[in-house]
Every structure is written in C-alpha cells, then in structure tokens.
Amino acid sequence: MIRRNISLTETALPQVVAIILMFIAGSVLIDGYFSSRSMISILVFASFVAIAASGQTTVALLGGIDLSIPAVMGLANVMTAALSSQGWPFWTVLLVIFGFAVVIGAMNGLLSMALNINSLIVTLATGAIVGGAVLAWTGGTPTGSAPKWLSSFVAPSGQFVGLPLPGVLLFWVLFSAVWLFVLHKTIFGRWIYATGSSPVAASIAGVPTIRVWILTFAFSACGAATAGVLLAGFTSQGDVRVAAPYLFSTVACVVIGGTSLVGARGGYGRTILGAIILTQMTSLLIALGLNTFLQQAILGALIIVVVASYGREAAVADRL
C-alpha cells in the first residue's frame, strides 16, 4: 500500500455526516420516516442508482465518462421483459444481455483509448446507436413483461429466504463486495488507478493501458446491464426510456460520493454513499411536498455546493 497524508477531502467523513444529518432531519420533520419500511425503500432505490453507477465510478477513475449507461440499461430492461415473455429461460436472457453489454463497452473503451477520442463523445455516439436500435426494435412502445419472481425480488416490501429484506438489497451487498474486491484487491484494480493517474507513466511501467480501458468500459456496461435487468422487475414492462434519468444521476452520485472525474481519486465505496445521499435527498424533498421541478433545481444547486465543498480542482498557480 502507498502511504499518504490523509486530509478531510480524502476521507468519506463529509458524506457520512451528510447522511446522518439528513437522517436526523427526516426523522424530525417527517412522520413515519424513522421506520424500517421507509429505510428499506430508500435503500432499494439507492441500490438501483448505485449499481447503475458502479461502471460510471470505475470509468471516472480512468478519467473517462460513460454516457451510454442509460442506453445499455434500456437495452437490458427491454430484453429482460421481451425475451422472458417469449418463454426464454432466464439464464439465456442474461447471457444475451451481457454478451451485448461486453461488446458495447469494449467498443467504447477501444475507440476512446486507442484512437485517443474523448470518451464523452464516443459513448454519446454508441448510446445513440444502442438506444435508437432498441427503440426501432420495439417500435417505441413498452413491450413484454418481466418474470414474476424478479418483481418480488426488487419490491421494497419483499422478503428473501425468510429474511424481512428484499432480495435486491442482499444482491447489492454481494455486488458491492465483488466490485470493491476487484478495485482494491486485484492487480487489475491497481492498473485502473495507475492508468487513471497517468496513462503515460502507467504504460511505461508495463500496464496494458488500452486493455485496461477496454475491460473497464466493458465492466461499466455490465454494471449498467445489471441495473437494467433489476429495473425490469420494478417497471415490469420493458421500455428503453425508463433509464433516461440515469444519465445524470449516475454522474451525480459519483461526484457527490467524492470520486473525481479527472481520474484515480475515489472508489466504489464512495459511490455507495453518494447513491444513499442522492436518494435520501430526493425522498426528503418529496416528503416535504416540494414542487417536483423545483426539486430538480435544488438537486442541481446541491451538486454544485457539495462538489465545491470538497472536490475543488487545484488553481493554475498551484499546478505549475
């Protein structure tokens, strides 16, 4: 491990404090907020965003951004509902979905790194292609229906193997453990941080940077596909457009969590906190009866304030 000075901006303390403060505020201001029921539903919604943002986090660690996440989520969402209702066994549905996700993600990574094009534009283009193709396939109308067990798996009131918790939460714990393990305990995870910190230096040190970009974007697409499949249980019908809000919300929870979009600073643990903060904030604003549109405006302002409080970049004079 590399030892370095730990300042406030490098710990997740502000995020944890924010979560506790919002929890206290909610319990005081809102009736029924302090109940396991409302806690569980907040966590279930947070799990969708956090899983969708898992890839955004790893891509951000490379200094990239993935705007094709909503399209891949939509693809997975539609395929889950459409193919399941055609009688495909669930594992073959998953096989097809993740096959597509790996190909799309690998394309994103290859084009961005090998041709040195900003990933923002590459993923914008692939997102348009994937989203458009799915819309053309379905004719733009919601199709199919998700398997029943998937709906109860993600329902906040659901139970899983006798525990009073919805299955999706246990899945999220497992998913996070795998993601954190890969990022922090494997050589591949080290490569991600090294490449994000300085692609040139990493390349000289023998890191296969192009392969790292390809694999990371493939991982990102798989994370998005996972979220899309889970979302199908929630929406029951398949529709590519249900994932549209995840374009900005995945970026939002990455930056609120404290992962820098410039690369190499942060991690998935922070995104988990970011997703909880984002969901808590939204549910507080809804419960306080604020106009939905103003909520969006306040969310925008909060993102700026939160990032300005700890995510400031160095001044030019300090980078000489």
Partner 1 sequence: MPVSLKTASAGLTSWAFLLALLIVNLINSPYMLNAQVMFGMLAVAMPLVLGAMAVTPSILSGGGGLDLSIGPLMGFINILLVTSVGAALPGFAAVVVLMLIGAVIGGLNGVLVAIVRVQPIVATLGTYLILSGINLWLLPIPIGPAPDWLLALSRSVAGIPGSVVLLLIPAIIWLILLYTPFVRTLLAVGGDDRVAFSVGINVTAVRILAYALGGLIAAVAGIALTALIQSADASVGPPFTLQVVTAAALGGISLAGGRGGMRNGIKGALSLFLIQTLLTDLGVSTYWQQVCFGGTLLLALVLNSNLTAQVLSGWRRR
Q: How far is CA 174 from CA 51, 144, 296, in A?
A: 11, 29, 31
| 38 lies in the binding site for partner 1 (CB under 8 A) | no
Q: How far is the CB of 255 from partner 1 (least distance, A)?
A: 5
* Residue among 95 and 129 whose Cβ is closer to partner 1: 129
Beta bridge partners of 143: 238
Q: How far is the CB of 202 from partner 1 (least distance, A)?
A: 19
Q: Which residue has the tokens 């304030």?
A: 305
Rounded Cα–Cα distance for residues 170 and 147 (Å):
19
* Residue among 120 and 201 whose Cβ is closer to partner 1: 120
Beta bridge partners of 163: 160
Residues present in the chain in total: 320
Per-residue binder mask for partner 1 (CB under 8 A), 235-274, x = binder:
-------------x--xx--x----xxx------------
* Residue among 103 and 163 whose Cβ is closer to partner 1: 103
Rounded Cα–Cα distance for residues 185 and 45 (Å):
28
Looking at residues 180 to 239 of the shown chain, list those that interact with partner 1 (rule: CB under 8 A).
none
Among positions 135, 155, 170, 210, the unique one binding partner 1 when judged by CB under 8 A? 135
Per-residue binder mask for partner 1 (CB under 8 A), 47-86, x = binder:
------------------x---------------------
Looking at residues 104 to 133 of the shown chain, list those that interact with partner 1 (rule: CB under 8 A).
111, 114-118, 120-122, 124-129, 131-133
| H runs (alpha helix) in the chain | 13-29, 36-61, 69-85, 90-114, 119-138, 148-154, 167-185, 187-197, 199-204, 209-235, 246-257, 268-287, 292-310
* Residue among 230 and 254 whose Cβ is closer to partner 1: 254
Q: 10 Å Cβ neighbour count for 295?
A: 16
Count of residues engaged in binding partner 1, rule: CB under 8 A: 52
Q: Which of 280, 268, 305, 241 is nearest to 53 (CA)?
A: 268
* Residue among 93 and 240 whose Cβ is closer to partner 1: 240
Q: How far is CA 26 from the centre of its chain?
A: 25
Helix (H, G, I), strand (E, B) or coil at 8: helix
Looking at residues 274 to 313 of the shown chain, list those that interact with partner 1 (rule: CB under 8 A).
291, 293-301, 303-304, 307-308, 311-313
Q: Which residues bind partner 1 (CB under 8 A)?
A: 65, 111, 114-118, 120-122, 124-129, 131-133, 135-136, 140, 248, 251-252, 255, 260-262, 291, 293-301, 303-304, 307-308, 311-317, 319-320
